[in-house]
Amino acid sequence: MAHLKIAPSILTADFGRLADEVRAAEAGGADILHLDVMDGRFVPNITFGALLVETLRKVTSLPFDLHLMTVEPERLIDQFADTADTINVHIEVSPHINRTLDAIRKLGKRAGVCINPGTSVAAIEESLPDADQVMVMTINPGWGGQQMIPRQLEKVARIRAMLDAGGYGAEIEIDGGVKVGNIAECARAGASVVVCGSSVYNAQKSVAENIAELRAAAGR
Ligand code: DX5
Ligand code: ZN
């Protein structure tokens, strides 16, 4: 069975000791670091931008998976040219998605297209050949710590089937509500990357313990 990549999201980490929180994820066996950029417009919250991502780039060698929850994401891409490994943009704010994915690839980055729970898979169908990753939101974006909308895993399976039928190489990443109790199901539905926010950064256990438990529950 293929290795399931775990991508902790720092959204519920302690921002007062963020560098240590990121180092803990790397030491604990994370594969990727997921970074949620929110603009207060596409989603209600505002988180952080390129400056913080540049700061974190110096404290870890984990690949950076950038999740742009912003309007006009194409205007921000260049700011992450030296830091991100994958740049994910939402279909809901990308009328020219193929041009945006192309611009991301021209920077030498992996290009991801994200789809909200309320958006039909048909919206991304024409972009699948141009994407390195499809990020399926299993919550309505904006906050960490929400419950996964279970029906969205069925959507993951449909996208997996579309990718396989077309012979496209894009990976599927699941973002939202991934926990010990559903991580194996995420992998079975066809994801190869899972974002884990509050299931990694919480008050109950250490980052390393949480990653180990998620890994064990995934069974791969
Ligand atoms: C929410 C973000 C997620 C968030 C996930 O809008 O896109 O990446 O950090 O947090 P959990 O895993 O707690 O749902
Ligand atoms: Zn995210």
Ligand 1 atom closest to 196 (CA): 12
Number of residues assigned to the chain: 220
Supply the pLDDT for residue 64: 99
What type of residue sits at position 50?
A
Strand partners, 172: 134
Q: Does residue 130 have a pLDDT over 80?
A: yes
pLDDT at 219: 93
Parallel/antiparallel/unpaired status of strands 110-115 and 133-137: parallel
pTM: 0.98
Share of the chain above pLDDT 70, in %: 100
* Token pair recorded at residue 173: 């990443």
Residue 185: its pLDDT value, please? Answer: 98
Residues with CB under 6 A from ligand 1: 9, 11, 34, 36, 67, 139, 141-142, 144-146, 175-178, 195-199
Atom 4, ligand 1: residue with shortest CA distance: 144
Q: From 9, 43, 133, give the residue whose CB has the most ligand 1 atoms within 8 Å, as the site to mutate.
A: 9
Q: How far apart are CA 195 and CA 6, in angstroms?
A: 6
> What pLDDT does residue 220 have?
85
Per-residue pLDDT, 44: 97
Q: What per-residue confidence (pLDDT) applies to 77?
A: 98
- pLDDT for residue 36 is more than 90: yes
- Of 11, 193, 214, the one to substitute when testing ligand 1's pocket (max ligand atoms within 8 A of C-beta) is 11
Position 2 pLDDT exceeds 90:
no
| CA 112 to each of CA 39, 86, 103, 204, 208: distance values in angstroms, whole numbers, following the listed order | 18, 7, 11, 32, 28
Residue to mutate, 114, 146, 179, 201, ligand 1, most ligand atoms under 8 Å from C-beta: 146
Return the active site residues.
Answer: 36, 175
Ligand 1 mean position to 163 CA, how many Å?
Answer: 24
d(CA 162, CA 185): 19
- CA 167 to centroid of ligand 2, rounded, Å: 26
Binned at pLDDT 50, 70 and 90, residue 110 comes out as very high
pLDDT band at 1 (very low <50, low <70, confident <90, very high): confident
Ligand 2 centre distance from Cα of residue 69 (Å): 8
Cβ contacts of residue 105 below 8 Å, gap of 6+? 111, 130, 132
144-184: per-residue pLDDT in tens? Answer: 999 999 999 999 999 999 999 999 999 999 999 999 999 99
Mean pLDDT of 101-111: 98
Q: Give 186's Cβ-side CA count (13 Å radius).
A: 35
pLDDT of residue 164: 97
Instruction: Write the CB contacts of 57 (distance below 8 Å, at least 6 apart in sequence).
Output: 64, 82, 83
Question: What's the gap in Å between 44 CA and the centre of ligand 2?
Answer: 14
Amino acid letter, 37: V
DSSP 151: T
Taking all residues of the chain, what is their mean pLDDT, rounded to a whole number? 98
